Amino acid sequence: MTEEAVVLIDDKELKVSELSEQQRYLHSQLLDLKNKEASLKFQLDQVAASMSVFQNAFIEASKEVAEETLEQPTEIEEVQNDDIN
């Protein structure tokens, strides 16, 4: 035997089957919105995790470019090296 769905309003339990048509409609809307909220939070967790991965990859790529740039001789260094030779 399954229990009948109830809602709690001001500490009072009401059976969904005893609600008016408008109350059932509004109750359904609230249930749907709670489900959507949970789904959006779930998706936001995925987005946040993905953002972290891409940010870390961007930072690493930027470090590699910066290190390559620092390793290349500048025009001043090239001129000084030519003067020495």
Domain boundaries, the chain: 6-71
Does the structure show a pLDDT above 80 at 27? yes
Radius of gyration, alpha carbons of the chain: 32
pLDDT in tens, 30-39: 999 999 999 9
Q: How many CB atoms lie within 10 A of CB 23?
A: 14
pLDDT in tens, 65-80: 878 777 777 666 665 6
Task: Assess contact for 13 and 7: CB atoms under 8 A.
Answer: yes
